[in-house]
Structure 1
């Protein structure tokens, strides 16, 4: 009996987190209400505070799940120094990951003073930069470019490209943007021919 209750509790929490993630991605954190989450999940509004304490607690669970999914991906076999093609393929994969819409939608809220998103986004950025580190060997970088700097530029490019596409997909050529990023990186990185180009 206790085991079934624990399973039901876990299922309810998962449904609430999934519904909140979808709604936060569609509307943003501030515009999403408990009623919206309850309607989408099929779970009562009271369950949100029961499981998470508050809307901010639910937000933390959503972001924690996103961070965890990226960290699990980081544990896959390393491909350090695998070359330019792998770096760019990884960037494209990141931009197409299921949580990317949520990540992009809520990023503006994360920059506001006192935002409950700020610390979680800083953590997620760090996880993503570490993922990019895993693709690159410092010998691939030109003089004066550090692994940290390179990871920040790649992540910033991917976020910026994807954000522009999300805002105006009908007038933004995502494939062309990634092709341009690929060419710019090919020109910047050493030994482009050896690296897959």
Structure 2
């Protein structure tokens, strides 16, 4: 009986997080009510304080779930060789199209404050993504072709910054930014930066 109750509790929590993720991405955190989450999930409104304490606790659970999925996905991908950068750009574009990415970016201003409850999770996600890009640039056949004075760590930082910038511009003016083309162009620029002069 206890096991069944625990399973029911886990399923209720999963449904609430799933519903909140969609609503926060669609309507925004402030515009979404606890009643909205309960209605979409099919779980009683009283279950939210039971599982999460309050709406902010639910938001933290959504962020934790989203970050876990993203960091696991990036950590599992260590593409090498000449096609590795293309794979990384495809992965970055795919994440840009995930609805909850909109929520994560909208909360970025709060996340940069050291005292924010979500600061450390954002920092961890960014560090993971930088490590993946850095690892690609640190491969011997790539590192020897980095511009003078540039390091694989520089490559990771600049690549992540450019990818986030593309996403922000796409969100602000989707009619003026072709997401696939923009990430493709970023790949071409980065490839050119680490290619021998005669092969560009």
TM-score strictly above 0.5: yes
Q: Is the 8 A contact 2:93 2:183 kept in 1?
A: no
Report whether the alignment pairs 1:88 with 2:92.
no
Q: Under a length normalisation based on structure 1, what TM-score does the superposition of the two structures give?
A: 0.82
The question of 1:106 aligning with 2:118 is answered no
How many residues are aligned here? 193
TM-score, normalised to structure 2, is 0.81
Q: Work out whether residues 71 and 128 of structure 2, in 8 Å CA contact, stay in contact via their aligned partners in 1.
A: yes
> CA distance change for structure 1 residues 13 and 165 in 2, over 3 Å: closer, same or farther?
same
* Alignment RMSD (CA, Å): 2.6
Give the equivalent residue in structure 2 for 1:51: 51
Deviation at 1:185, TM superposition (A): 1.0
Query: 1:190 Cα shift?
Result: 3.7
Of 69-78 and 11-20, more deviation after overlay is shown by 69-78
Compared with structure 1, are the counterparts of its residues 155 and 109 closer, same or farther at alpha carbon in structure 2 (3 Å cutoff)?
same
Q: Is the 8 A contact 1:95 1:159 kept in 2?
A: no
Structure 1: runs of 5 or more not aligned:
none
Structure of higher RCO (CA pairs closer than 8 Å, 6+ residues apart)? 1
**Counterpart selection for 2:177 from 172, 190, 193:** 172
Which residue is 1:119 aligned to? 120
Provide closer, same or farther for how the CA distance between residues 192 and 133 of structure 1 changes in structure 2, counting only shifts above 3 A: farther
Alignment deviations for residues 91-140 of structure 1 (CA, whole Å, 9 cap, x no partner): 23123133433333333443468543333212211122222234332542
Query: 1:130-149 counterparts in 2 under 5 A?
Result: 130-137=131-138, 139=140, 140=142, 141-149=146-154
- Asked whether the equivalents of residues 134 and 152 of structure 2 are also in contact (C-alpha less than 8 Å), the reply is yes
